Structure formats: C-alpha cells, structure tokens
Structure 1
Amino acid sequence: MATWKLIKLKFERCPAHFGELGIGMESTTERVHSDTLFSAWMSSFARLYPNEIDALFNRFHDDALPAIRISSTFIYRETDKGTIYYLPRPLKFPVNYPQDNDLEFFKTYKKLNYLPLKVWQRWYQGEGFTSADRQELIARTNGAKGGNLDAEGTFDYKQAFKIEKVPKIAVDRNTRATNLYHTAFVYFEWNQNGNSIQSLSGLYFLLHFHQDDVELATRLEDALKLLGEEGLGGERSSGAGRFKVEWNDIPSDWQSVVEHPDTLTSHYLISLFWEDDVSQLLKYFLKTFKIIRLKKNRCLLQELIHNFAL
C-alpha cells in the first residue's frame, strides 16, 4: 500500500545558504530543489548505514516502482488560522480564467509565483478563477487590500523569509592579503517565548513510499535528522543550514493533490525531471564541448554531469 508523508524542516533562527548557479556567494534561493535534497539525504544515509546504501540504490533501478519519490522543498508558514503550504503556480491558467488577459489584474496575477494550497486547489481543481478574484486583483494593483485571496495568504509569500548579505573576509594563504566579499543567507520567520524558539516558517516536502515500509521510513528519518544536525546547503562550516525534522502523515486536505483518479487529464510536477540517461548526456558533452581529457579526469566528468543535470 502506498504511503505519503509531509515533512517539515524547521530552521528556527538558523540561517541557510542555498546557492544559485554561477560565480560568487552573493545570491541564494529560499528553498532547495529535489536533486540537492536527495543527494544530501543519501549522503547522510550512507554515513549512518554504510552497509545498506547499495541495497537502497538498487531499489531505484525499477523506474516504474522506485523505493521512494520526493518533491522539491517549498515554503510553509504558520499563522493564527493554521498552516499555509505554498505551491508553485502552474504556467497553465486556472480554470475559468478570462481570455482577455486584462492588464488591470494581470500585472498582479503574474507576480504570484507561489499560491497557497487552498487557492491552488480552488483554481485548478475546483470552481476555478472567479469574478471576485478578478476584482480583488484589480484592487490589489491599485493599492487596496482585503478579500478572500488576501485572507488565504496569497500575497504573503515573501513574509515567510528574508534574505540578507553578510560581509566576510578572505585571507590569501601565501600573501596574507585580505579580500572583502558578501555571502547571502536566507532567514526563516521565527519567534521566541522565553527559552523556547518557535519556527513560524520553513521548508516542507512530500515523500512517497510505493509500499508501506516501516523499517525504511525509520532509517530515512534518522538520516534526515543527522542531515539536520550537519546542515543543508552551503556555509555549513559557519553553522548554516541546520534544522529540526517534523515527520508527519500527509494532511487530509492534500489527498486531492496526490491522488490520481482515472479521469485525470493533466499532471503537475513538483520535483526536477531529467529524461535523458547518462550515456546520452556523455555524448552531448563529447560533441558539444569536445572534452579530450575526460578519461584522465573522471572527477571532472562527474562534476560536469552533475552541474548540467541541475
């Protein structure tokens, strides 16, 4: 029997650095993609259970029935009305979306890169886009607040975190010359009551087991807790990326999102997807970049494949 879990990563007041592709440390995203999470998680699993990691990887060879599936991480935010789970807004317009693309509300609509779960379900699985939504978006464009979308936290995504740059000094090992640079960190919303720290926001992801496997679930949870102690992302040597794990059964309001009825007409992807295998990717590099010394430097090849897959 298939099993779904919803797992929260609570960073409390610990900053994190989830670097962007490119040179430098001055940018960070607010969340982690599925490939980064899986790699870090499996590394912790291998350290905790070195004799079992090969057997676990062998269970992924069956593409139709892998041992587990995970989503990328997304923002959650605790409010006095409950927990808001944000999901990426699909490129496809919602059900009953107006065809005229009226700029009065489209300017605000296109900025909604992430939607609360309830709004996502209503727009894409329920009654769809309504005239009240249109009027509220128009009012929002003109500076007014209030309405159903506002009450559901549709416009509050960026209140769950903040990104700040921290100055740092690099010292040359030979000349002892110093160089000033900045590193960006993401801080998730939290508050403190006495000695108790409460995470008001953080990251969550979905975990799917093809069949109920209590032993594997226990080992994966232990490995994730170990990862939380070591840190996720960059700047771990500075104490960044540490989190606490909250392992939950998937809430009932998620059932319509993860279930696949026979009448399903489209799918929604919430993890990274790469359709080509490694042999095809290798041919791409050999043809495009004309790398001559790959056989002498397999580490370089593995690094290139990893970076390209991102």
Structure 2
Amino acid sequence: MLSYYLYKLHFSGPVHIGPDHGQSPLESSMTTMHSDSFFSALCVEAARYGGSEMVENLVDDARQSRMVLSDLLPCRGEELFLPKPNLPFVQARVEADSENRKEFKKMRFVPISMWTDYCKFCFEEKPFPLKKCKEAMQGFSYPDQRQRVAVEGSEDPEPYFLQATSFPPDSSLYCILGFDSGQTRSKWEQLLNSLAWSGIGGKRSSGWGKFEVSSPDPLENHQVLHAGLSAKDAPMWITLNTSLPTDEELRSIAQQSSYLLCRRGGFVDGEAYKKRTVYAFSAGSCVHTRFEGDVLDLAPKGRRAVYRMLKPILLGVFK
C-alpha cells in the first residue's frame, strides 16, 4: 500500500518543455510535463551524484512499484487541475452540442473543485459550468518566445526562435508521488530538491527550468485525490500520468479502454543520439481494469541504458 504526497513546483523563470510531435522542438513549449520525462530528469540528476548504481536503484524502485509519480499538472493558488477523462460517450454527446462543442474539445483540464460536477455531467448528463471551468484556466501560463543566434565554426550566424513557458506568480505545476515507505520517500525527496537547483526542460545552461519545491502535502488533505487513489475497486480508472500496459495487459484491456496516445521520443540528455520512439497512453486515458505497465530501456543497441518509466498512477472515477 502506497502513501501519496503532493508537491508543487514554483518556477523562478521560464521553462522549455519540448512538444510531443518532435517537430521544430525549439519553437514551441508545452505547459505541462510528461511523467516519463520528469523521471528521466531525476535519473540524470541521480547519475551526477551516485553514478549508474544509484540510477539502477531508482529504476528498481519504479519497476517494483515502490514509487509512482504523476505528470506535472497545472495548479493555481489552492486550485488543482486534473486531466479531462477521455470518455467516448461524452465526446459523442458533445459533438451534438453545436454551441459548446469547440470549447469542450479545447478543454484539457478540470478544476478539482468542479470534479464532482464533471462526473455528474459525464454519467448523469447533468449541466456543467463550462464557462466557469474555462475561466479557471485563463492566463494560467503564457508563451515566452525569444530570438537567439546560432554560431557554428566559420559559418555565418543564423538566427532562430526559442519558445519557453512562463507562469504568473499564482500559477505552478504539481505532481503526485506515491511511496511504499518513509525510506523510499526520503530518497526521492532529496533527489527532487537537488533537481530543483539543476532545473528541468531545455536550455538549463541559461538558467531556465529552475524551481522551488513546496513541503510535501499528504493526500489525505485532498478528498477527491485521496479517495480516487486509495480506492481498491472503481467502475473506471483514469491515468494521471504517461503510461503504457505491457503487451499482455494491452491485449486484455484494449477493448474496454478509451485512450489517447502520445509520441515519446527525443534525444538522450547530453548525447547526440535518439532514444527509440514509443507511443504511450496520455494522462486522462480511461480503463476499466487496472494495469501495471513497465519501465523500458529505449537505448539503441550498444548504447548505455536509457530508461522510460511507463508505470501508471490510476485515479478511481465514481459515477
């Protein structure tokens, strides 16, 4: 049985979070970060201080489910936001609503204070205050585009654009981590606090991506999250992170799932070669049966291991 804690990351400046599609990665920046990217950043930080042995220890924690983590998700003040569940019967109903169809499609997150209302909208077809939900996310973050100049050898300087994400003082990102023991928690919290100084995302050498971590907040203080994550049985589960069932699990749950896929690829940190690309479930994917997932080594043949954590953190959804 895992104990869950919530951590808020308050960024001191811009952060560049590369897009899923892999095209022109410098010219756009995401608002949130996938859990597997965040896990990789923690492993890189661990390698600096403890070498490959410490990294293997972290990977073993993940493989044995002694630790799980969510995506980095939006929060504003005391308000947390959850991924909008990908429910096909709701999408079909929204398609018939010509007045609000586009706004519902644009909506990516649901304020946790409105989560019960949204579940009633989904399962009982009760009205949902879409306008209020939209207003809650307005101005949460803003794109921060800058022009840079690339200078390579004797070639002429070549200008290019680089985009980051910046957050107003009341906005930040949060993650949920679950631990099997106090010892595991202490180890990962030390690493998280160390990563805050190094930063996450791209262009860290320019000081981007640095953050302060809030004190751990036990999930017992958040009723919706605590009830959903501690549930042993639920009619439906949504993923709060980037995850992927094993091949065997996928065969058994594919017909009962409604998932969004995201491309997971990119270059290895500090190296000139790419990881192997996989497609994983995005946060907000819905399944009727829990799954375990795995931690994959996606390094090209003959290269050092490159780990991608695709173990799920599942929130029970009740009608």
Distance 1:2 1:102, change over 3 A: same
Distance 1:245 1:101, change over 3 A: same
Match of 2:286 in 1: none
Shift of 1:125: 6.6
Total equivalences in the alignment: 250
Q: SS of 1:208's equivalent?
A: strand
Residue 19 (str. 1) matches residue 18 (str. 2): yes
Distance 1:219 1:106, change over 3 A: same
Match of 1:185 in 2: 164
Q: Take 1:230 and 1:101, find their aligned partners in 2: how far apart are those partners?
A: 48
Q: SS of 1:222's equivalent?
A: helix
Does the aligned pair in 2 maintain the 1:56–1:67 contact within 8 Å?
Answer: no
> Which structure's relative contact order is higher, taking Cα pairs within 8 Å and 6+ residues apart?
1
Q: Take 2:202 and 2:84, find their aligned partners in 1: how far apart are those partners?
A: 27
Distance 1:201 1:54, change over 3 A: same
Shift of 1:128: 5.4
Please point out which of 266, 272, 276 is paired with 2:242: 272
Distance 1:129 1:11, change over 3 A: farther
Does the aligned pair in 1 maintain the 2:4–2:178 contact within 8 Å?
Answer: yes
Residue 165 (str. 1) matches residue 145 (str. 2): yes
Q: SS of 2:145's equivalent?
A: strand
Distance 1:56 1:109, change over 3 A: closer
Larger Rg: 1
Shift of 1:126: 8.6
Match of 1:248 in 2: 217
Distance 1:228 1:271, change over 3 A: same
Please point out which of 35, 55, 60 is paired with 1:58: 60
Name the aligned partner's letter for residue 256 of structure 1.
Answer: A
Does the aligned pair in 2 maintain the 1:48–1:223 contact within 8 Å?
Answer: no
Q: Take 2:74 and 2:141, find their aligned partners in 1: how far apart are those partners?
A: 9
Name the aligned partner's letter for residue 248 of structure 1.
Answer: D
- With normalisation by structure 1, the TM-score equals 0.71
Shift of 1:55: 3.3
The one-character-per-residue Cα deviations of 1:127-150 (angstroms, maximum 9, x if unpaired) are 9566543xx55xx5xxxxxxxxx2
Q: Take 2:73 and 2:96, find their aligned partners in 1: how far apart are those partners?
A: 28
Name the aligned partner's letter for residue 87 of structure 1.
Answer: L
Q: SS of 1:156's equivalent?
A: helix
Distance 1:261 1:60, change over 3 A: closer
Distance 1:179 1:249, change over 3 A: same
Shift of 1:111: 2.2
Q: SS of 1:39's equivalent?
A: helix
Name the aligned partner's letter for residue 18 of structure 1.
Answer: I
Name the aligned partner's letter for residue 70 of structure 1.
Answer: L
Which blocks of at least 5 consecutive residues in structure 2 are unaligned?
248-270, 281-319
Residue 8 (str. 1) matches residue 8 (str. 2): yes
Please point out which of 211, 214, 227 is paired with 2:182: 214
Q: Take 1:116 and 1:88, find their aligned partners in 2: how far apart are those partners?
A: 9
Distance 1:131 1:57, change over 3 A: closer
Does the aligned pair in 1 maintain the 2:111–2:136 contact within 8 Å?
Answer: no
Does the aligned pair in 2 maintain the 1:116–1:154 contact within 8 Å?
Answer: no
Q: Take 1:102 and 1:27, find their aligned partners in 2: how far apart are those partners?
A: 31
Shift of 1:119: 1.8
Distance 1:114 1:105, change over 3 A: same
Q: SS of 1:240's equivalent?
A: coil
Name the aligned partner's letter for residue 303 of structure 1.
Answer: K
- With normalisation by structure 2, the TM-score equals 0.70
Percent of aligned pairs with the same amino acid: 23
Q: SS of 1:103's equivalent?
A: coil
After superposition, where does 1:277-288 map in structure 2 within 5 Å?
none
